[in-house]
Amino acid sequence: MADKFDVIVIGAGPGGYVCAIRCAQLGLKTAVVEKRETLGGTCLNVGCIPSKALLSASEKFEEAEHHLADMGVEVAKPKLNLKNMMKFKDGVVEANTKGIEFLFKKNKITHLQGEGSIPAAGKVKVTNGKGKGDYEADSIIIASGSDVISLPGIKIDEKQIVSSTGALALSSVPKSMIVIGGGVIGLEMGTVWRRLGTDVTVVEYMDQILPGMDEEVRKEANKIFAKQGIKFKLSAKVTGAKTSKAGVELSVEPAAGGES
């Protein structure tokens, strides 16, 4: 007979793990299905937390290189150790994911590692992981989160054409980088690599960066990023990408239509 729970949550990101902890605190027998080996979802593993760690580290690097002398602190030109910077980022991520593990144990939540599906009402099947098996629950909560999507004509290989996940783990500083999309994630990644020495250009479909934000914030942010050295191609769309040993060649055309 399948193990029975009051609640099974599919997804251990900020939606799923917070929900599971509250369910357990209310006295419900709770399990969480998560396909990653670590808890925390996109945010903790390959999103907000690692990107903020790299933003913080790259800011220190830039400060040492360009701004400390203005305060009367003279240091030799800083040398980038990218491997150690990535190690610092990974350490921050690990501390956060281990924190959630502790909260699961404290609240007696069962962690079912693997991929969850719902074959029938009240039933959850877990495959491809340590928690594989068939389970039953009175309530099932889907908190499966987001995943990376590509664009037509562009194939992500996580080597030359990378998603935000790949951009958090590059093994060397690229000479140049095009960021497709001037939203928060694109600008975070662009900022990190620009500070470390990459020539960064952002291509954005809309006529301003940061779609959905207050117009004044968008305009001021554009000025600040441009002052820092990031270049922008606004009202532009990328229609294709070809990789070669020399790099990546992008086809870009006006968002309203026109010559590529």
Interval 48-61: pLDDT, tens? 999 999 999 999 99
Spell out the residues 6+ positions from residue 95 whose beta carbon is closer than 8 angstroms to its own. Answer: none
Low-confidence ranges of the chain (pLDDT < 70): 1
pLDDT of residue 149: 87
Beta bridge partners of 195: none
pLDDT of residue 64: 95
pLDDT of residue 219: 95
Phi and psi torsions of 87, nearest 5°:
-65, -40
pLDDT of residue 232: 98
pLDDT of residue 94: 98
pTM: 0.91
